[in-house]
Structure 1
Amino acid sequence: MSDGSLDAGPFFHGTKAALVPGDLLEPGRASNFGAGDPANFVYLTATMDAAIWGAELAAGDGRGHVYRVEPTGSIEHDPNLTDTRFRGNRTRSYRTRDPLRVVAEVTGWESHPPEVLGQMRENLERMKADGIEAIND
């Protein structure tokens, strides 16, 4: 439930976690990026591509999943992917301190090519080595 000024959705979340409709995604779990500190937010996007990146890059073993989700409260621009670090919000990425409700699993999505995925993983490792952490406040 956005305040209407950000995005009408639909919204997606990519992860390695196996979830079912009705499950709630809540802040407080270990972040998939940086040192893995507990995340103060849950992240969502209005683009399938960004959700696929989330599914592919999430910590953990197993295959990635993309879920259609509904915010249960207000959302804000994700400063990790918007004006704080990059101009605009091309990935239509947001975060919330409120739970996200899983509506359905999205099936049939295609992974990024292995060489592109490898480059992204290298970039993330470089950022980690440089001490660049996710903005978590």
Structure 2
Amino acid sequence: MEFNPNNNVVKRCLQGMGMEEKGKPEEASKLFHQAWDEATNDFEKFLAAHYVARHQKNVSDKLKWLEASLQFALTINSDAVKSAFPSLYLNIAKCNEDLSEPDKAKENYELAASFKDKPSDKGPFYHGTKADLQVGDLLTAGGSSNYKAELKMNHIYFTALVNGAGLAAALAKGNGCERVYIVEPTGSFENDPNVTDKKFPGNPTRSYRSQAPLKIVGEVTDWVRQTPEELHIWREKLANNKGEIIN
């Protein structure tokens, strides 16, 4: 199951988060319940239940929805979902504590810690840019951020979703053609903390970063292009984003 921002359930969750940001929790809760009612597969139900959980009035109901989200997540063999396990088990453990269930809390805290290993994603991996590069070239950290020009990046970023790399290419600085390269990490890598557990649970966009170079091993030309209107919306979001980049 690949994360898709155009998915109707994902859109409902995004709308709900927008209501949260505007200080309208009741409207947010309605949208998250609507997402749950419209969910048709385990991935959609995992996402929707996660958001319904955080608007529950009491701990028991919150725990019920978190456990529902976890059960759907456990049925999905996907790296997009595995990265959510630490936060899911952690939140369940906190509910166990509040309900005076120390043994269950201990078990779930331990499970949360057990899933905090390095990403298990095997790729293939992609990097989107407007730079004209060749097979065998190395992409290295130290370049300027696409989103804050004054910031020199300590990591090089990549994703396992070709459409995500295509979007990154479209948003990249420069006047060159949009290019999506197939890359191989030459060292260890981690979940991108700028997206992991920020809006959606875990790392559903399968976004990663490394301090070691990425080696270009190929190029793809087939991915879903954004319309000019969609790109305008993305650029506006980035321009209005006041959050700090974890570098």
TM-score range, shorter chain: 0.7 to 0.9
* CA deviation profile, 1:28-48 (whole Å, cap 9, x unmatched): 111111244110000010001
Matches within 5 A, 1:1-137: 5-84=119-198, 86-127=200-241, 130=242, 132-136=243-247
CA distances 1:59-112 after superposition (whole Å, capped 9, x unpaired) = 111221100000000010001111245421111000000000001111133411
Q: Distance in 1 between matches of 2:128 and 2:239?
A: 19
Number of residue-to-residue matches in the alignment: 131
Structure 1: 5+ residue runs without aligned partners? none
Alpha-carbon distance between aligned partners in 1 of 2:165 and 2:150, rounded to the nearest angstrom = 19
**Which 5+ residue runs of structure 2 have no aligned equivalent?**
1-116
Greater fraction strand: 1
Larger Rg: 2
TM-score (norm 2): 0.50
1:83 and 1:6 map into 2 onto residues whose CA distance is 17
Higher RCO (C-alpha 8 Å, min separation 6): 1
Over the aligned positions, Cα root-mean-square deviation in angstroms equals 1.7
CA offsets, 1:7-61, max 9 Å, x none? Answer: 0100000011111000000001111112441100000100012101110111111
**Counterpart amino acid of residue 87 in structure 1:** P
CA–CA distance in structure 1, aligned partners of residues 221 and 187 of structure 2: 26
